[in-house]
Structure 1
Amino acid sequence: MDVGQRRILAIETSGRTGSVVLATGGGQITAAAGPLGVHAHASELMPAVERMLADAGWPADSLTEVFVSIGPGSFTGLRIGVSVARTLSWAIGAKVVAVPTLECLACNALSITPPPPNLAVILDAKSGRVFCGAFEFRDGRYMPTGDAYMDVPQAFLARCPRPLAVLGDGVSRHCQVVLDAGAVILDSGLWAAKAENVVRVGVRLAEAGQYTPGGDLLPCYVRRPDPEEKWERLHAKP
């Protein structure tokens, strides 16, 4: 399909707030909405999408692709975003790209001149742990050095190369740990994922043919949701 014929909806609902954008095949942003209200993904996401489509003059069934941030992050937010992407894939045949949330967050550091050579992204995973990923700036973008995983921040940061810059909402809970590790904390305005960076990463993945069948799309939780872990602890055999 010609780049100009592609119509993309990008969804970012991994955090406390969220955002959505419409874009063309080359990644040019056509319309944007957000931030959504705090923990208001369920009530505000689809109305925001409908308003953007109406303002852009795009019928819903003209969307050709959906790029969705799949996590790690807020369990509820991720479920909602992925559910919308799955529904659009089934209802109108839109192709789906699953975009790793930490890669979207790493893109925030591209606004810094020069971009930090080594970047760590940490999100609060509760119980003293973080969802984390390390990135290296190379060829104009941040390349992940491995998959996202969960760890205590001290151990994760100790494995990262120096000099090191850190961003993500895990910084607010583990600020002293980050400073003790000798890392630089980036501005808090760079700690939240943005739908525009879902487009940035998604376009690259789409160009590489990395589409996911809608029926196979799942959030990347890294660990199970808290209610499941609590249920298992309550029902564990002595």
Structure 2
Amino acid sequence: MKILAIDTSNDVLGIGLVDETKVIGEYITNLKKNHSIRVMPAIERLLADCETKPSELDKIVVAGGPGSYTGVRIGVTIAKTMAWSLGIPLSSVSSLAVLAASGRYFPGVISPLFDARRGLIYTGLYRVEGQDPVMIKEDQNIPAVEWAEILRETGESVLFVGNDIGIHSETFRSTLGEKAHFVTVGGFNPRPGELGLLGINRPEENIHAFTPNYIRLVEAEAKWLERQGKRTND
């Protein structure tokens, strides 16, 4: 069984090819460049290097969010299109769960995070059981200072994972003290191979109905709903 994994949910562009026993190949970059024009060439290159034809794929797994609205949308759209055109299943994995998997040997809990600007973060709380990250607190969009207090109340040591941990590290250090731990640079990037392995046994999505998990509304949608509410109350 060959699985193609696609992650464009943030600056990291990750394409992976896995089977049940190994990561066959990965393509990873961490660049602020347009994923929409880079992802298909990356998929084609990886499949060619791994001597795999699209018709030999058995499943597509995509990082379904949260993250960059545009990035998540690009990855999900391509994954849905490929799965539909090839007639194969599509599964989704939380973008944060993929990050959490890199902390599987940490003895405490894991808080993967992406910066969401204005003091907010996308995060969740995970513990790795066996080989898979298990969600303890659901993925959410929350102020970093509020999240730090929630983590302090757990009383556990916390490993923070992701490229954006430096933005909020002082907030967590000041609140958690010695219980705050931070992954080293080598563990910042989500691995597309990890995404593929996590998605092997995930349930199949309805390709036409599946939508990204943005967690919060995009700014334009929020402003539109706010205007509608004001008109209703006028």
Instruction: Determine if the TM-score, normalized by the shorter chain, exceeds 0.5.
Output: yes
Separation in 1, partners of 2:215, 2:33: 20
The residue that corresponds to 2:214 in the other structure is: 221
Given that 2:12 and 2:190 are in contact with CA atoms closer than 8 Å, whether structure 1 keeps it comes out as no
Q: Match for 1:16: what amino acid?
A: D
The residue that corresponds to 1:21 in the other structure is: 16
Matches within 5 A, 1:202-213: 202-205=199-202, 210-213=203-206
Matches within 5 A, 1:139-154: 139-154=130-145
Q: Match for 1:64: what amino acid?
A: D
Distance 1:121 1:32, change over 3 A: closer
CA deviation profile, 1:7-57 (whole Å, cap 9, x unmatched)? 211011111121101122x14222222216423211110011111222223
Structure 1 residue ranges without an equivalent (≥5)? 1-5
Q: TM-score, normalised by structure 2?
A: 0.87
The residue that corresponds to 1:30 in the other structure is: 24
Q: Match for 2:157: what amino acid?
A: P
Using the TM superposition, give the Cα deviation of residue 215 of structure 1 relative to its aligned residue in structure 2, in angstroms: 1.0
Structure 2 residue ranges without an equivalent (≥5)? none
Which is further off, 9-18 or 181-190?
A: 181-190
Q: TM-score, normalised by structure 1?
A: 0.86
Given that 1:85 and 1:214 are in contact with CA atoms closer than 8 Å, whether structure 2 keeps it comes out as no
Q: Match for 2:74: what amino acid?
A: I
Separation in 2, partners of 1:60, 1:193: 24
Given that 1:122 and 1:130 are in contact with CA atoms closer than 8 Å, whether structure 2 keeps it comes out as yes
Given that 1:12 and 1:18 are in contact with CA atoms closer than 8 Å, whether structure 2 keeps it comes out as yes
Using the TM superposition, give the Cα deviation of residue 213 of structure 1 relative to its aligned residue in structure 2, in angstroms: 1.8
Separation in 1, partners of 2:113, 2:38: 26
Sequence identity, in percent? 24
Separation in 1, partners of 2:21, 2:85: 24
Q: 1:115 aligns with which of 100, 106, 110?
A: 106
Q: Which has the higher strand share?
A: 2
